[in-house]
Chain A
Amino acid sequence: MNHELIPLFVAIPLGSAFIVSLLGKKLRGFADTFSNLATFSLFSLSLLSFLLTKRLGTIVYKVGGWIPPIGICMVLDSLTSFMLVTINLVAFLATIYSISYMEKYTAKWKFYTLFLLMLAGMDGVIVTGDMFNLFVFLEIGAISSYALVAFGVEHEELEASFKYTVMGSIASSFILLGIALLYSYTSSLNMADISRTLAQRGNGQIVFFVSVLFLMGFGLKAALVPFHAWLPDAHPSAPAPISAMLSGVLIKALGVYALARIFFNVLGMTATTSSILMVLGTASMIIGGLLALGQEDIKRLFAYSSISQIGYVVFGIGMGTTFGILAGLFHLFNHATFKSLLFLNSGSIEYATGTRDLRKMGGLTSKMPVTGYSSLVGSLSISGVPPLNGFWSKLLIILAAIEAKHFIFASIAVLVSILTLVYYLKVQRLAFFGELKDSLRGIKEVPLTMKLSMIVLSIICIFGGLLLIPGIQKNFLNLATEVLANGTNYAQTIFGSIK
């Protein structure tokens, strides 16, 4: 029973996507209930998987019964279950939110089909243990997101989606080229086997070229500077639950997780790679923060802020020390919660007032209290105000940088955090506090399902700091950190767990 659980993470969203596409048009309300059932079951399965890996260690599932390295294997270790819990939590809350929000668009069943396909792609990237399988699931997730960005087919959405598709397919070609070169050097596609072969033969010059190609390809998926140019156009143009999914989990599952898994477990983290990741992470922090200051479109501001926060995550993970990886992963989880909360808030504002321009809003908290207060929680959390969860993860990143003696990087992180507070206070002042404009007198609070998602996410933001209590941290975060800190011992763990 234990290892048959793993392919369910891919089978449930794929199967549900096909069933929704067949029956969603004919039966009213079927698409809503079935998709929400699917994401709820995925969320419960991911919690179950987390308990399983705590009890049993790494679990390996051989697809079709073929033994790796000849066959494809799916791996469930602590990092996998950590990412699965994050992704499926945000996906579940986003589908609940879309029950009401997507009424404003046509063809809701098409939305749910694409959403479940994107979720299948993301879950597949996380559970797979094979390089080419990673590429296939990466493409499934990415192509669905290209279509979802263009979902409301207006001028700007189509333009944003075209730019995103062109840049995304160039990145995928770089990744495929990297996989081809890695296959030519190691004659294997299985991640554990590649890691073992590289340990025996030593890293040749081609491995450095392959790591540069992967950095370019996955860096574009993760929106690292200088590969970030698609994100400020694509994320605002998508419908709000999709913006929450894209910013909250897609750039992490397809980008940061893949980078971390490949650079730590497969290729081996070297000092060069570590410093490249730290420099790119810091550049993302600064550039994302500076460009967010001048934005008037609320979703575009949040998109630039995502670039900045992903810079924090990559900087933390790129440090390579155990403390740094812990800080980076914790910030990844926190960013998933508060950024999706903020995007869902912006969706509520758009649903109620019909505008995304900050200059046209004002005093919304008096009419929309749930949106207003949850947005306050989200903004304070992302700016790093204690005792919300963002404060703890940013503190850990800065402490990890100081411990590793990167003092300049640590001071840049502190300054960017102050910058973050500046532009989020701007959002709060312009949108929520202040005078209610006359054109906005008639607005009402959003429907129940939208309120529910926002309230649940704000509760997680408030209590997220509790994940650092030593009893809980030992079980959740530390186990995930160990998988990455183990580095190339990954190969022995996998081959030891194949039964």
Chain B
Amino acid sequence: MIYLMCLILFCVGIYCILVKKNLIKIIIGIGIVEYAVNLFFILVGYRVQGRAPILAKEQVVQNMVDPLPQALVLTAIVIGLAVTALIVAIAMRIYEKYGTFDITKIRRLKG
């Protein structure tokens, strides 16, 4: 059930990228898509009755959730940060050059 919610979030993000005309809303859409994929990845690592995968001294090792997806998602979040920073910088420069954020007016390249 919760995986279905991740898919719905993914589709919301894709809808946002496809339909919205404002550059900033497209950037937010990219962010939503990345959140959905990261959330799905963490949920893949869930084990029923598992606890946080931290090994402390003098504690009996019990059922833990999978720590590997957590490490991978940290990396993916940082990659998403880099893309967001770059694309916001490009959007700012586009505003300086074209004077608008509307993608229907930013259409010099055709054909």
Compute the total of residue contacts between A and B using a CB distance below 8 Å: 91
Q: Let me know if B65 is at the binding interface, CB within 8 A.
A: no
Q: Does A326 contact B (CB under 8 A)?
A: no
Q: Report whether A136 and B108 are in contact in the complex, using a CB–CB cutoff of 8 Å.
A: no
* A314 CA to B109 CA, complexed, in Å: 28
- Give bound CA distance, A173 to B34, whole Å: 6
Question: If the complex has contacts A143-B82, A169-B83, are A159 and B109 also in contact, measured as CB distance less than 8 A?
Answer: yes
Complex partner residue of B91 from A147, A160, A162, CB under 8 angstroms: A162
- Looking across the interface, which residue of chain A has its beta carbon closest to that of B27? A166
* Chain A residues with CB below 8 A from B93, complex form: 150, 153, 158
Residue of B nearest to A294 (CB): B111
CB contacts (< 8 Å) of B33 on chain A: these are 169-170, 173
**What are 7 A-to-B residue pairs whose CB atoms are below 8 Å?**
A139-B82, A147-B86, A158-B97, A170-B14, A173-B34, A176-B76, A180-B37
Q: Are A162 and B72 in contact (CB under 8 A)?
A: no
B89 smallest CB distance to A (angstroms): 9
Which of chain A's residues have a CB closer than 8 A to the CB of B30?
A: 166, 169-170
In the complex, the answer to whether B108 meets A155 with C-beta atoms within 8 Å is: yes
Question: Given known contacts A155-B97, A165-B87, A189-B68, what 6 new A-B pairs fall within 8 Å (CB)?
Answer: A139-B79, A143-B79, A162-B90, A172-B83, A176-B76, A183-B68
The answer, among A136, A153, A160, for a CB contact under 8 Å with B109, is: A160
Give complex CA distance A156, B107 in Å. 9
Q: Is B44's CB under 8 angstroms from A156's CB? A: no
Contacts of A295 in B (CB 8 A): 111
Count of residues in B whose CB is under 8 Å from the partner chain: 33
> Using a CB-CB cutoff of 8 Å, which residues 207-244 of chain A contact chain B?
233, 237
Indicate if the CB atoms of A143 and B86 lie closer than 8 Å: yes
Cβ of A419 under 8 Å from chain B: no
| Residues on A facing B (Cβ under 8 Å) | 132, 135-136, 139, 143, 146-147, 150, 153-156, 158-162, 165-166, 169-170, 172-173, 176-177, 180-181, 183-184, 189, 233, 237, 294-295, 300
Q: How far is the CA of A132 from the CA of B79 in the complex (A)?
A: 12
- Bound: A272/B88 CA distance, A: 40
A159 to B94, CA, bound (A): 7
Residues of A within 8 A of B97 (CB): 153-155, 158
* Residue ID in chain B nearest A165 by CB atoms: B87
Among B68, B106, B111, the one with the most A-chain Cβ atoms within 10 Å of its Cβ is B111
Chain A residues in 8 Å Cβ range of B108: 155-156, 159
Contacts of A156 in B (CB 8 A): 108-109
Bound-complex Cα distance A183 to B14 (A) = 23
Whether A177 contacts B109 in the complex (CB less than 8 A), given A143-B83, A143-B86, A166-B30, comes out as no
In the assembly, what is the distance between CA of A169 and CA of B33, in Å?
9
The interface residues of chain B lying within 8 Å CB-to-CB of A146 are 83, 86-87, 90
Q: Which residue of A143, A172, A180, A300 is within 8 Å of B41 (Cβ)?
A: A180
Q: Tell me, in angstroms, the Cα distance from A160 to B90 when the chains sit together.
A: 10
CA of A485 to CA of B37, assembled, Å: 33
Contact B90 A176 (CB under 8 A): no
In the complex, the chain A residue whose C-beta lies closest to that of B38 is A176
